[in-house]
Structure 1
Amino acid sequence: MTPNQPPALELDRISRWLGGRQILSDITVSIPTGKISCLLGQSGCGKSTLLRLISGVDRPDGGRIRMDGQEIVGDGSFVEPESRNIGFMFQDYALFPHISVAANLAFGLRGMSKAEQQKRVNEVVDGIGIRHLVDRFPHSLSGGEQQRVALARALAPKPAVLLMDEPFSNLDQGLRERVRKETVETLRKLGTTAIIVTHDPQEALAVGDLIILMREGKIEQIGSPFDIYDHPVSPYAAEFMGPCNRLTGIFARGQIETPIGKFQANLNLPDGALAVACIRPQALTIESAGDGIAARILAKSFLGESEQIDISVHPLAQPLRVHSHQRIPMAVGQQVSLHLNHAEIHVFADAVVPV
């Protein structure tokens, strides 16, 4: 996006109520042109509702939506879905079972002549690499093939914005990663502005240029994958983006003091206030008993690329979890020494966060 180019999409204080319950509250965000943005959050946080408002199949109770600087939803204005130039790729793909792949791709091009339709279908087929599928019917396709056809159909009308609701959730793990990689490569090659809904933080980190983390109908944090993972704004954001060991401590003179050490804390709190340290499992390392914090191994799980170790540290009531990419020779029950990498420790004012 150039400095003078407006965002592809702007949401300004969007709210939505359903059945007497507020589903979305004061959603304000700008979607950059030509980038992949991920709407991330738990089921029920309002992600899919927000997609429906953007696409036009539902209306907000308050706020404005602009596309390329032009208002499409606001006080007294509402552009119908078919006039928004927004593509939608459904979670279940929603391919028409009774017509061929080629006919599925041409379905959204009905305003064109037959020759124009065929030309555009050929462009999309060759661009996504599904020429060998055009004469087949959806029931004969694998899950990955159906996903690619659904993507091609959504891209065929050249939408200004493509909305994708959990597009990889129906695929097995190995296939999911491959199809996701191919999809992202296609979107980037075409310069498509895409909004992908996902509940999987690892997926959002892997594909998003921008991550919009939602919580109970509100935006918790917006930023790049590195920003959100490395600089979470709350314990909720830290724990949602990856496992954390949570320790409560006392704040004093710019530090939080916990049973396993003191950590720098840039917090506006009075001395003596409670604070929380969220410590990534990879920030902890263990060695044979010696220098460091005395600990004992409670359990070990081999995960292939890494090893997960649960340790007890006096006087903590709950064990700490360690992730190590090196083999840990010490056995369950053995005494060890705990060491900390302070780079992956996030400190916040104390707050009760639902798990």
Structure 2
Amino acid sequence: MHVDPVRPTRLRETPSLQKTGLTMDRVRHAYGTRQVVHDLSLQIADGELLCLLGPSGCGKTTTLRIAAGLEEPAGGTVWIGDRTVAGPDVFIPPEQRGIGFLFQDYALFPHLTVLENVRFGMTHLPRAEGVANAMAALKRVGMDGYAGVYPHTLSGGQQQRVGLARALAPRPRLMLLDEPFSGLDKRLRDQVRDQTLHLLKDSGVSTLMVTHDPEEAMFMADTIALMRDGHLEQVGNPVELYCRPKTAFAARFFGEVNSLRASCRNGRVETPLGVFEAPDGLRDGVVEVLIRPEGLRLDAVQDGEEPAVLATVAESRMLGRSSLVHLRIDTGAGPLHLHSRMPGLFLPPPGEPLAVVPDRSQVFVFAADADL
């Protein structure tokens, strides 16, 4: 997969261009005068699951609808495999693209049984073959015992699995998922998305999934494409986006960060937490330093010890698998309030002094006006 979020690669229709599950080249779209997708280019390999991630209104659902054929792009080209499905003088409707859909509401027909819902997309096949394929799809999702019932008798998780079976039954080249787990409670959502991930991987289908939840994207995706205001902000695997964010926006989107203003001089950034190296190319001046709470390790202060960074506990809260500790560090410019996330049960009392040891791999430095 190759995407340049700043200057998208110009794809050309030549015999040497290898098309994959989905290819989008310089796609643009607008609603009236409002541009919602700006020259977006991406590729999804065969069998790859790519998550379009971003806040509401960033253009991710519009991008999925363009891939589906539910929106005609204002510019650019879309391929599914080696077939052009949208582009100059070309527009293939959704039903002819060989794609599967799974949306938020599952879109099951209430007047059809579970089996009839799954067979709906295969009416071109002889009835016996369509029924056999539908039953095989239902068995894969563990719903073959419900073939004769109607959707309203099923739980939300069961309806989601039926929707997935219906989408996979015709063996699509490309699968499109739009916030498919948002209607489920957390416990059921974790279970269903785990099942969905394994089913998609077992099927070998290329998948484009839209979500606003960074944890869900990291759980599901081989590749994450983070969108912002119609552009691709950063594209990479979950480790790259979480551990090596290219912008302050990307760093913040994947969870809470401690934010400090500091000065950069000759490649060195001095902060109350120590001195850090500035990334290559960063100019001298005011910078923003972002540190994830789990990047601040806390140690007890031994008698007579003078730690490099000393903090006082303000509050401690148990969050289940981790503990959140509110810290205060006294500086010449006034008190600095920070959060540290420690694994397991770690609840030091208010007022206790602790040594703070930053994990330099989780310290990110950006120009102070980078997100303006």
Q: Could you tell me the TM-score, scaled by structure 1's length?
A: 0.95
Identity, in percent, stands at: 37
Deviation at 1:42, TM superposition (A): 0.8
Where do 1:104-253 residues align within 5 Å? 104-253=117-266
Residue type of the alignment partner of 1:312: R
Residue type of the alignment partner of 2:355: S
Q: 1:299 aligns with which of 315, 320, 340?
A: 315
Question: What residue in structure 2 maps to residue 347 of structure 1?
Answer: 365
Match of 1:180, SS?
A: helix
For the Cα contact (< 8 Å) 1:295–1:313, is it kept in 2? yes
Deviation at 1:4, TM superposition (A): 8.7
- CA distance in 2: counterparts of 1:328 and 1:87, whole angstroms: 47
Q: 1:4 to 1:215 in 2, by over 3 A?
A: closer
Residue type of the alignment partner of 2:141: I
Residue type of the alignment partner of 1:273: G
Gaps of 5+ in 1: none
Match of 1:313, SS?
A: strand
Aligned length: 352
Deviation at 1:64, TM superposition (A): 0.9
- CA distance in 1: counterparts of 2:300 and 2:256, whole angstroms: 25
Residue type of the alignment partner of 1:169: S
For the Cα contact (< 8 Å) 1:267–1:348, is it kept in 2? no
Runs of at least 4 residues of structure 1 off by over 4 A? none
- CA distance in 2: counterparts of 1:117 and 1:163, whole angstroms: 22
Q: 1:44 to 1:142 in 2, by over 3 A?
A: same
- CA distance in 1: counterparts of 2:75 and 2:17, whole angstroms: 28
Q: Could you tell me the TM-score, scaled by structure 2's length?
A: 0.90
Q: 1:329 to 1:168 in 2, by over 3 A?
A: closer
For the Cα contact (< 8 Å) 1:65–1:72, is it kept in 2? yes
Question: What residue in structure 2 maps to residue 284 of structure 1?
Answer: 296
Deviation at 1:5, TM superposition (A): 5.3
Q: 1:111 to 1:320 in 2, by over 3 A?
A: same
| Higher mean displacement: 336-345 or 196-205 | 336-345
* CA RMSD in angstroms, aligned pairs only: 1.8
- CA distance in 2: counterparts of 1:304 and 1:293, whole angstroms: 27
Deviation at 1:276, TM superposition (A): 2.0
For the Cα contact (< 8 Å) 1:288–1:330, is it kept in 2? no
Question: What residue in structure 1 maps to residue 13 of structure 2?
Answer: none
Q: 2:274 aligns with which of 261, 265, 272?
A: 261
Deviation at 1:299, TM superposition (A): 1.7
Gaps of 5+ in 2: 2-15
- CA distance in 1: counterparts of 2:213 and 2:197, whole angstroms: 16
| Higher mean displacement: 199-208 or 236-245 | 236-245
For the Cα contact (< 8 Å) 1:274–1:350, is it kept in 2? yes
Question: What residue in structure 1 maps to residue 341 of structure 2?
Answer: 323
For the Cα contact (< 8 Å) 1:36–1:209, is it kept in 2? yes
- CA distance in 2: counterparts of 1:227 and 1:336, whole angstroms: 31
